[in-house]
Amino acid sequence: MASLAVENYVKAIFKLSQGGCAGRATTGQLAAEVQVAPGTVTAMLKTLSQQGLAVYTPYEGVRLTEAGRALALAMVRRHRLLELFLARSLGLEWDEVHEHAERMEHAISDGLLERIDALLGSPRFDPHGDPIPDAGGQMAELQARPLSSCPPGQRFRLVRVLEQSPAFLRALRGQGMRLGTVGEVVDRAGEGGAVVIALPDRQVLLDHAAAASLLVQSPPEPAAESIGD
């Protein structure tokens, strides 16, 4: 059975290496992610290598082995299912669920986790729109684009939030933005500028970084009325 520290490290490597060069994470990135000194990271990476969970190359970074990736996906599944359970069943806000899930994911049994999955209807996405791996480690593909890339006049539906700090999530909630929120881009002030969006009851000004962290899809068009309706 993996230790809490090992579980946290493989999950952090998985998060940092998604979309990275050859699926690698650097020691500096890991140190910032798990909030420890680089020397502590190096020692743990040697442990992961000895356990067959990762391959560490000095000055190049670390990548997960198949065994390491399987463990990481299992931990991601636990975390995201617990976040959704806390939000949907206990009514916690999306800015409140992460810390609770972080503590619970290491203690919950596989059997209880699968009962939570069944209770929730085997969901595919967590409260932030992140895909939840299934029991076999497969995740749904979400086709979406950053809000910052949408031109004026583009209608959108918010489907995922990449920046998940509690302060940012609370700010979005205060502006009336949640998953599923539908709006329209009103104006863009250049590549590095602000984005103005119109929501059903207000206009919201987002800086470029905030808009880039919001992934959106085109909402379904209202059904046309049939002749005679």
pLDDT digits (tens, 9 = 90+) for 2-43: 788 999 999 999 999 885 556 789 989 999 999 898 888 999
Check pLDDT > 60 for residue 224: no
Predicted confidence at residue 1, as pLDDT, reads: 64
Q: What is the pLDDT of residue 83?
A: 98
Q: In the structure, what pLDDT confidence band is assigned to residue 223 with cuts at 50, 70 and 90? A: very low
- Provide the pLDDT for residue 139: 92
> Exposed e or buried b for every residue in 38-71, given b needs 16+ CB within 10 A?
eeebeebbeebbebebbbbeeeebbbbbeebbbb
Asked if the model's pLDDT at residue 68 lies above 90, the reply is yes
pLDDT for residue 19: 54
Q: What is the pLDDT of residues 94-117, one digit of tens each?
A: 999 999 999 999 999 999 999 999
Instruction: Say yes or no to pLDDT of 226 above 60.
Output: no
The mean pLDDT of 223-228, rounded to a whole number, is: 41
Residue 89, phi then psi, degrees to nearest 5: -90, -30
Residue 215 has pLDDT above 90, yes or no: yes
CB 101 within 8 A of CB 79: yes
Quote the CA–CA distance of 191 and 148 in Å, as a whole number.
Answer: 8
Residue 210 CB burial class (10 angstroms; 0-12, 13-18, ≥19): buried
**197 vs 192, which has greater pLDDT?**
197
**Both structure tokens of 174:** 């205060």
Which pLDDT score is estimated for 147? 96
204 touches 175 (CB < 8 A): yes
Does residue 62 contact residue 45 with C-beta atoms inside 8 Å? Answer: yes
120-169: pLDDT as tens digits: 999 999 999 999 999 999 999 889 999 999 999 999 999 999 999 999 99
The residue assigned the tokens 């509690």 is: 166
Token output for 196: 């103005």
